[in-house]
Amino acid sequence: GPAGATPTTPAVPGSPVAAPAALPRSAPTTISIPRIGVSAEIMTLGTNPDGTVQVPPLDQAMKAGWYSPGASPGEVGNAVVVGHVDSAQLGPAVFFNLGALVPGDTVTITRQDGSTATFTVDEVRSYPKTAFPAEQVYGPSDVPGLRVVTCGGAFDRTAGSYLNNIVVYARMTG
């Protein structure tokens, strides 16, 4: 809401600020992460025939991708946005600096219905790909959450992929 808007419930010291009301479903169109200079289009992704999550094609590595079987950003549940860290063709990609985010940073997502959902980063974690926390990322949530996922860690030239995934956990704050 606008600056100076009154929260619906009085803030009690030491209690979490009341979460804003969840938004209806609407596909995300852009993502903005000021701390790392990201302002990117979002494409809609689904799952591959083998059940794995699609990622944006490498020739469009500057775009992020929204996992559309899950919640849309602003809906109750965890919305998942994925992106590449770099690509052979383009060099640094959309989420090249994702690991530099810190708790308190903001992520703003514009939606097709013209609304925006603002999320505040709670935590940034790196996981070995073999131990990806699918439940924490794709699992249920009773509040509007956001998970931004990219590759990170060391690049394994043999496998042609990064050994880790970086996951940003955020919740809707506006």
The domain segmentation of the chain, as residue ranges, is 28-172
Indicate the CATH number for domain 28-172: 2.40.260.10
- Please give the model's pTM, rounded to 2 decimal places: 0.83
The Cα 124–Cα 31 span in angstroms is 17
User: pLDDT tens across 9-61, in order?
Assistant: 444 455 456 668 899 999 999 999 999 999 999 999 998 899 888 888 888 88
Under 8 Å CB-to-CB from 35, ≥6 apart: which residues?
Answer: 100, 101, 102, 105, 106
